[in-house]
Structure 1
Amino acid sequence: MKGDRVEIVIDTGGSAETYEIVATRAGRKVEVSTARGVVEVSEVTRAGQTVRTGRFMATRVIALVEHPASDEPVGAEESSRRRRPRAEQAETLL
């Protein structure tokens, strides 16, 4: 789903590097797999075709954080809020 992203923090010896793999288009998702000491993060289409891949040695991975896309459309929070009447208006209506 567009908006899915995975952050990977890697130990580079003297410091830590952060990488992000993001589902850039609608219908794409980000998958994480671990095999034979390698962590693979891939952006995949609906058909299952891999678009972009990041491979990291599992021994060097400090953190792997998955951020799923929100189910709400952008701007849904704002429309669900109700405005409060001004104190002046509330008094005149009573």
Structure 2
Amino acid sequence: MKGDRVEIVIDAGSGTTRTYDVVATRAGRRVEITHGRGVVEVSEVTRGGTVARTARFLANRVLALVEHPAADAPAPDEITPTLRSA
């Protein structure tokens, strides 16, 4: 769903880290994570299952992989009241 986000933190060598974000940029897209054979793959996928874009990382370099799901409903403080005429 639009707003899904995955944050990937990798070891860039010599004690430094780099952070990458993969975000579902359009409505109907989602972010999927797969891993195997020493590779972590984060993909933005359309409703039909077609991969829109992919980020690949060596598994031994990945320090953290954090999923941030999109909110299903707005939080109470995000709801803006609307005036209705009677």
TM-score bracket, normalised by the shorter chain, equals: 0.7 to 0.9
1:12 aligns with 12
Equivalent position SS for 1:12: strand
Higher helix share: 1
Q: How many residue pairs were aligned?
A: 79
Provide structure 2 residue ranges, at least 5 long, that are not aligned to the other structure.
82-86
The structure whose Rg is larger is 1
Residue identity in the other structure for 1:59: N
TM-superposition CA deviations, 1:4-31 (whole Å, max 9, x none): 0000000010200000000000000000
Alignment of 1:2 with 2:2, yes or no, is yes
1:89 aligns with none
| Separation in structure 1 between the aligned mates of residue 80 and residue 12 of structure 2, nearest angstrom | 45
Q: Percent identity?
A: 66
Shift of 1:80: 7.9
Shift of 1:57: 0.2
| Separation in structure 2 between the aligned mates of residue 4 and residue 21 of structure 1, nearest angstrom | 8
TM superposition outliers: structure 1 runs of 4+ over 4 Å: none
TM-superposition CA deviations, 1:29-67 (whole Å, max 9, x none): 000000100000000000000001000000000000000
TM-score by length of 1: 0.79
Alignment RMSD (CA, Å): 1.6
2:67 aligns with 66
| Separation in structure 2 between the aligned mates of residue 28 and residue 48 of structure 1, nearest angstrom | 9
Provide structure 1 residue ranges, at least 5 long, that are not aligned to the other structure.
82-94
